[in-house]
Amino acid sequence: MREQLVKTAQKLVTVGLNKGTSGNCSIRDEAGFIITPSGVDAEDMTANSMVKMQLDGSFETNKKPSSEWFFHRDIYQQRPEVNAVIHTHSMFATTIACLHKNIPPFHYMIAVAGGGSIRCAPYVLFGTQALSDTAMLALKDRKACLLANHGMIAMGASLEEALAITVEVENLCEQYWRLLQITPTPALLSDAEMQAVFEQFKGYGRWNP
């Protein structure tokens, strides 16, 4: 699991979703979760760098978990179907988040995040319980959200699913940003049209709810 987490953290950098020490990811284990460390470049991470945490907030001695461990912990406590969480400062998700905009259903793939929109949580200082509290509200009935003036959270039943959602949300954010250069009011899909997408996804495999 630690090796898998290292590979995911490094892939996030390789595909341009994180840079330097920004962002973090975690995976649930039998007693809590394992999370990437604070302030370590992904290329320098090893399996031993990963930090095992308990749901009470305690962690391995002589290690320092990502400062964003609060929302990782809260997601695992409140969302039993989630086994992996990814947080990025990717370019377009962060750009839209800095505009404090929810992403509306301009494209049917919005459904991969679990609803008819991708919400943007209000700005709160990083590395705090307050940030986690606002993120949990934005993630209600969703698999991803934006964090104002900060970045994105995505999650899934596995690291593979969480990564796939992260990539798709970033792609949607880029498309939405480009649309906003043309018009402030792009055409949107209706609730009925989005519901039909969810029904179609039920037989689609990867995005099966």
Q: Which residue numbers are catalytic?
A: 68
Q: Which of 114, 106, 100, 189 is CA-nearest to residue 144?
A: 114
- Residue 128 falls in which region: left (phi positive, over 0), alpha (psi -120 to 50) or beta: beta
Taken in order 47, 50, 51, 52, the sign of the CA dihedral is negative
- Which amino acid does the sequence have at 126? F
C-alpha span between 24 and 65 (Å, rounded): 9
Sequence-ordered alpha helix ranges (H) in the chain: 2-14, 69-78, 91-98, 129-138, 159-182, 191-201
* CA angle 178–180–186, rounded 5-degree value: 110
C-alpha span between 60 and 51 (Å, rounded): 6
Retrieve residue 103's tokens.
């992403």
Retrieve residue 115's tokens.
């609803």
As beta bridge partners, residue 28 has 33
